[in-house]
Every structure is written in structure tokens, then in C-alpha cells.
Amino acid sequence: MHVINTLTNIGSNAGTEMYLVENACSLYSCLLVNKQWATVTVPILWTNPWKYEKPSKDEIDETFWPLIIKAVYSCFSPDTKDLLKKNGLDLILEGCVTPIFNYVRFCQHLSPEIIDQLTHERSFNESRGDIYRPFRDQLVEQELYKLFMSSSSLRHLVLPKVPLSYCPGFGLCLQKLRELVCRSDQPVDLFYGLAQICRGIQGIIVDPCIDDNAGLAALIEFQSNLKYLEIHAPEARAVECSLISQAIVSQAHSLIYIHFQGFLCIHPSTLASLSNLKTLKLFMSGHITNIQQFASSTFPKLEVLDIFWDEHTPFDIFTMLIRNTKGSLKRIYWNTDCPPKDSEDIRYYLNILTHNAFSNLTFVTVWWTEDVNQEFEKFLRSCTNLQALKICSFPLDGIPQAITKLLQILSKYTPPGLNVLDIDGDWILTPDHLQKFLESWEKKQRLSLFISPKITLLEEHKHLINLYREMGVLKHFQDAEFLDEVEYLKDIFDLC
């Protein structure tokens, strides 16, 4: 009934289409009601039809691609169908009647992987043993790109190696492009061509970024509202991309999200210029050059700092970076690969977080040892808006810590909104300690508890976990080495 009302009132609110997009089964049912319902449903399903390939994790729908391919091939023009038939591809057009809708017109997402699936899935059986198959596959691929470029208005594109400029409608198709995935080793002219057409791209992912590229730099610089930039630079090809760095600086007015993986291929001063940055994500496998300049960067609007991996940068460098922010931080996620050197490092870090400027924190990673109990208590009392907390053991020398005191402090001083707790590292957790902690949580918000796989769980532990789940104290429980990989918490880490 809700789907019927939603379709009837389509367009009445901003959440209507989002509800429909996330309910594929209901949408498929709606297709069968009548033409009016199908007219509303088809554009929603075909915005990004490829994402419906697997209805569930444990189910593979073998009928998906044959049906999708038949619908796409049906949209070929008569001239294209004649061309394919003349080149021995009659069988792949079998059953492709004139479609009720121009399905391709509604597509907004395209990648070489999708084109490859559309090319090879249908022609495999028909072309087995065919010495001319590579030629025929290339012909189908070429005609598919022409079809999408002439019919669609793409919002998301993974840039292929083949030039798109030969496709009719290339310019109109990409005028509304919002996200581009590309490689830095693609032809400079290809990027120059895109820069002439695409001015409203909001997100660019460069994977890999293995060299400086003047065309890519021009494409970045010519965007009017670039918000999101993700760069994967392999450490083995470590180069500083000065042209791309200059282009990034030109986007300081709009860039709010930066993600670097591998090697930091831009100068740290480039990052320092991004005064509107709200999210900084780092997954670094190489040294950051001019590290002190990185530490002195000031991000007055930074809300999210995620350090997924960085085993080279000293702990105090990131501490100084956090200190230099202006109180807007809401999340500090930290993996344990760059731990503090000693208790004094932890004490200094906790004192920074305790300052009133960090009262907006809702998710934070901290380290704990009994030497910093006083600072840890102050931190919990001051960060009253905390919803998720990750606590790492210290020292990280393979000797498990007794968790008794930590659990006592958490029971007494936990902020009222806390509902996600991650206990990471080497700990000794007895069933008695776990029971007392869960008892103390009975009148608080339902807790999602994640613990390190290094913590030994006995049958008695498991019995307590099941008991407190049934009582409604525990909402979720899981062993988790890396909290950012927990599917249940995907929304916390996926802000884009």
C-alpha cells in the first residue's frame, strides 16, 4: 500500500524517489500493474540498472544480464542492427523487438565493466571458437558506446580508454556529468576534450595517479563546483604532481572532501590551502614529505578525520593537526598502526579532546592505559555528544591489559547518547567483568558492541551476549579488527 501511495504522489517530496530506488522488488511489481505505473517506474529502475544484479548476498540471478542485454540491444537503431547483422551478429539480436521505452535514455551510470558485460555476456555462446570474435566484440562495444552517448545524459562515468569524441551526441551526453572515475595515464587530449564540455563535475576519482597530467589538471581547474576528490597514488610510482596540485588549489573555494590512498602525491601546502575542507581521509603506505608543514595545516571547517592506515607518520603529527582545527571536528577515526609512543602522548591527546572546542565530537578513537584514568574521565564528561567510541589498548606490545578499570569508568561516565563501542587491541575480559558492564548498561541506549578478535571469548561470554541481546541491552555484537569494515556501520563511514 505504501508503494501505491508513493507512486500516486510521485514528486510530492524529495524522499519519494529515494524510497523507490531502494525497493527494487516493489518496483519490479509496479512494472506489471499498467502502463501509467510503468511510465513512472522504468526511469527510476533504469537510472542505474546495473546495481540490481544481485538481489541479495547469497543469491545470484542468472537471468539478470540476459534480460538487461535484450532491453539494451532493443534500443539499437535500425542502421546499427543492420551493421551487426552484416558482420555475422544476427544471433545476439534474436528476440530484440522494438521496445516500449527507450531504456538507455534513462541511464545515468556507465563504465567499461558494464560495456564489457553487455558485449561479452550475450555473445559468448554464439561466438565460441570464432576467430573473428575480437573484431565482432570491438564492433559491439563501439556501437554500445555510440548508443549511450547519443541517448543518455550521464551523471557518473568511469572513463574508458577508447576515445568518446567519435560518438554522436558525446557533448550533450556528458554536459551534466557529476562524477568521473579516471586514470592519470589516459591521454592528455582526452581530458582536454572533457574540460571543454564538462564544467559541473562534483566528484573526481583518480585511480591510479601515477604521473602528472596537464589535461587532468585542466579538467580539475575548469570545474565550477568540485566538491569531492579521491586520489590513489601507488607508492612504487611516487611522484609529486605539481600541475594537479595547482589545479586542486584553484578549487579551494568548493572542495570539501579529500581522500588520499598510497602516496601523498601533492605537496602538503596544497592541503593547507583548502580552507573549506570538511572531510580528510588518509590511507597512506608511504612517507609524507615535509611532514611538519602537514602538521601545521589549519582546517577551520574540518568535521571528519579518518586515518585508515599510516604506519610512518608519528602520532604527535596528527595530534598537532587535530589541535589546529577550530572545533568543528565531529569524527576522528584512527586505526592502530601509528600508536602513541607513551602515556604522555595519550594524556596530551585526551587533554586536547577535553577542551571545549571539541564538544561537537560524535565519534572518536582514543587510547587507554591506567596511567591516564583522570584524563580519560574528563574526556568522557566533556564530550557529551559522543555516539560512537573506539578504545585502543596501550602499550601495543602483545601483553593483554586488564579491562576492569576501563569498564568501570565507562559504566560511570559514559555520555548518554553513546550507542556504539569498539574495544580494540589486547585485553583480558572475564565473563564476570562483561556481565557487570552489561548490567550497568541496562538503563542506557541499546549498545552495539564490537571487540578485537584478540579477546578470547568462552562459552560463558557467548551465553551472556545472547542473554543481553534478548533483554534488549545489546543491539549488535561482533568481533571486528577494523571498525570501518563492519557492514552494520557503513553509514557512519560513507558520508559521500
Q: Give yes or no for a contact between 317 and 291, defined as CB atoms under 8 angstroms apart.
A: yes
> Cα separation of 307 and 56, whole Å?
31
CA of residue 325 relative to chain centroid, distance: 24
On the question of pLDDT at 127 being above 70, the answer is no
Grid coordinates 585511480 are at which residue?
207
User: CB–CB of 417/383 below 8 Å?
Assistant: no
Please report the pLDDT score of residue 10 as a whole number. 46
Dump strand ranges (E) for 255-335.
Answer: 257-262, 279-284, 304-310, 331-334
pLDDT in tens, 359-368: 899 999 999 9
Residues in the chain: 496
**Which among 204, 209, 220 has a CA at the least distance from the CA of 157?**
204
Position 57 confidence tier, pLDDT thresholds 50, 70, 90: low
Residue 470 pLDDT exceeds 70: yes
Q: How many other C-beta atoms lie within 10 A of the C-beta of residue 82?
A: 12
More confident residue, 401 or 9: 401
Instruction: Single out the residue of 405, 465, 455, 413 nearest to residue 434, CA to CA.
Output: 465
Q: Are 438 and 464 in contact (CB under 8 A)?
A: yes
The residue with greater pLDDT, 35 or 357, is: 357
Mean pLDDT, all residues of the chain? 87
Strand spans (E) along 117-195: 156-158, 179-182
Q: Which of 92, 94, 107 is nearest to 45 (CA)?
A: 107
Least confident interval from 242-246, 393-397, 427-431 = 393-397
- For residue 243, CA distances in Å to 78, 263, 266 come to 46, 16, 9
pLDDT class of 109 with cuts at 50, 70, 90: very high
Q: How many of the other CB atoms lie within 10 Å of CB of 453?
A: 10
Query: What pLDDT, on a 0 to 100 scale, did the predictor assign at position 14?
Result: 45
Lowest mean pLDDT segment, chosen from 80-89, 129-138, 208-217, 462-471? 129-138
Does position 312 have pLDDT exceeding 60, yes or no? yes
For residue range 150-180, list pLDDT tens digits in order: 999 999 999 998 778 788 888 899 999 999 9
Q: Show the cell assigned to 213.
A: 597530467
Average pLDDT on 7-30 reads: 55
Q: How many Å apart are CA 422 and CA 453, to the nearest integer?
A: 11
Torsion of CA 172, 173, 176, 180, to 10 degrees: -130
pLDDT at position 305:
95
Q: Is 207 helix (H, G, I), strand (E, B) or coil?
A: coil
Q: What is the pLDDT of residue 110?
A: 97
> Which whole-number Å values give the CA distances from 448 to 324, 333, 389, 468, in the listed order?
32, 17, 11, 11
Residue appearing with cell numbers 610510482? 237
